[in-house]
Amino acid sequence: MFDRRHLLRASGAAAAGALGAAALPSPADAAGLARPPADPDPTAGVTRTLLQEHPSPAEGWEAVQTLVQIPRHKESGRHSHPGIEVGYIVRGDVLMEFDDRPPLRLRTGDPFFIPDGVIHNARNVGTVTTMMLSTYVVDATKPLVTTY
């Protein structure tokens, strides 16, 4: 049985290597949000603290709430969830990157919503450790986080 208290954090070393090889500037580069030099582990130091989890009124689903902290120049790594994520930026600046849509710049006080199964990456583009409060309503039979 999957224990949500052991949330996954994937190493982003392979992704960092691939990103460092890109020849063309990304939309983020044009917006002044370029990545710092290639980092052997861009997800190092990212923490996800389980705050609470409860069965949902919908059978087979559960509500999970976490506090995610991302240090300066670090990122969550590309991942998805088996349900929705409703979040709030408690502190910091994040570039929320998606595989299927343009990135979204989020700052302290901004809410966000990520649909079921959407692959995303939260990249700290600010000057402090970012803190995000994330609440998920997810399929209780699947892992909370699937990394890519």
**How distant, in Å, are the alpha carbons of 23, 29, 31 from that of 34?**
13, 4, 8
The CATH classification number of 13-147 equals 2.60.120.10
Whether 122 and 94 have beta carbons less than 8 Å apart is answered as: yes
pLDDT of residue 33: 61
Tell me: the pLDDT tens digits for 92-106?
A: 999 999 999 999 999
pLDDT digits (tens, 9 = 90+) for 110-127: 999 999 999 999 999 999
List the one residue out of 45, 36, 97 whose CA is nearest residue 68.
Answer: 45
pTM above 0.85, yes or no: no
Tell me the HSE value of 81 on the side-chain side, using a 13 A CA sphere: 27
Other CB atoms within a 10 A radius of the CB of residue 49 amount to: 11
pLDDT in tens, 50-91: 999 999 989 999 999 999 999 999 999 999 999 999 999 999
- Can you tell me whether residue 31 is helix, strand or coil? coil
Residues 11-50: tens digit of each pLDDT: 333 333 333 333 344 555 555 566 556 778 899 999 999 9
